[in-house]
Amino acid sequence: MPTFSEDAGSRPRSRAASGRPAVTRDRIVDAALELSAESGLENWTLRQLAAAVDAYPAVVYHHVGDRDTVVVAVLDRVVGELTLPAETLPWRDWFDEFLPTVRTVLRRYPGSARRLALFGPSVAAAVPTMNAGIGRLLSAGFGGEAPFAYNLLLATACQFVAMEDDRESAMALQLDRCEGYAAYRTRDDLPGMAALGESVAELVADPDLAAGYYERLYHYAVQRCLDGLELRLTQLNAIGRLTEP
């Protein structure tokens, strides 16, 4: 909570007079962004945020709003950190460059991926990224399916990062289950489980391999989505040729 150096009974001095920085909307959102990076988007309270800017919760509410409103402002900042590739790139190259950036940025702020997957950012924050991404898909020839294709890619990206955030917070449970799955690697009567067990056993035996597992899984997921969209584009082009006058 905020503290004051005045003697009891004296009139509180203004923030400027007491040498404390002014509380502004930007400063509050900056502090919320920092708290989200440190402990996760869902793991700080409005009281903790107020303490971080040396103010009372009512001051935070006055400048920004309730906690959900602050969270929306934080998500807008997170989306603003995304780097957009050059518009001259072919559509797949554009997403090949963009989607790894999505994971890098969202992983800085645990919990942001889940919120974005469920609700997305504000419209104003979404416009630059959506316009660029959907625009590349339109230029490629996806037509009316371009918004669906874009949402498929971004939802997949957010969901896999959200899964990574959640599983990271339950590492002990993961290790127990990994050992259980690894035990199936010699089960010739269950070839599917044996293949999974062998894969998990390799992760258990190699910490470096395990450390990069989620990055590889993310890459695999988005690349297979891109493969599917590439095939769909081929189909759309074929349909277009058939319907040409």
Q: Write the pLDDT tens digit of every residue in 110-138.
A: 999 999 999 988 999 999 999 999 999 99
Query: Which single residue is written with the structure tokens 């874009």?
Result: 150
Average predicted confidence (pLDDT) for the chain: 88
For residue 18, the model assigns a pLDDT of 56
Of the candidates 102, 143, 157, which has an alpha carbon nearest to the alpha carbon of residue 232? 143
28, 56 contact by CB (below 8 A): no
Of the candidates 32, 38, 42, which has an alpha carbon nearest to the alpha carbon of residue 65? 32
Mean pLDDT score, 99-103: 97
Q: Would you give the DSSP letter of residue 7?
A: P
> What tens digit of pLDDT does each residue of 135-166 get?
999 999 999 999 999 999 999 999 999 999 98
Give the pTM: 0.83
Has domain 25-77 been given CATH number 3.40.50.970?
no
**Cβ-defined contacts of 202-209 (< 8 Å, 24+):** 203/178, 204/178, 204/179
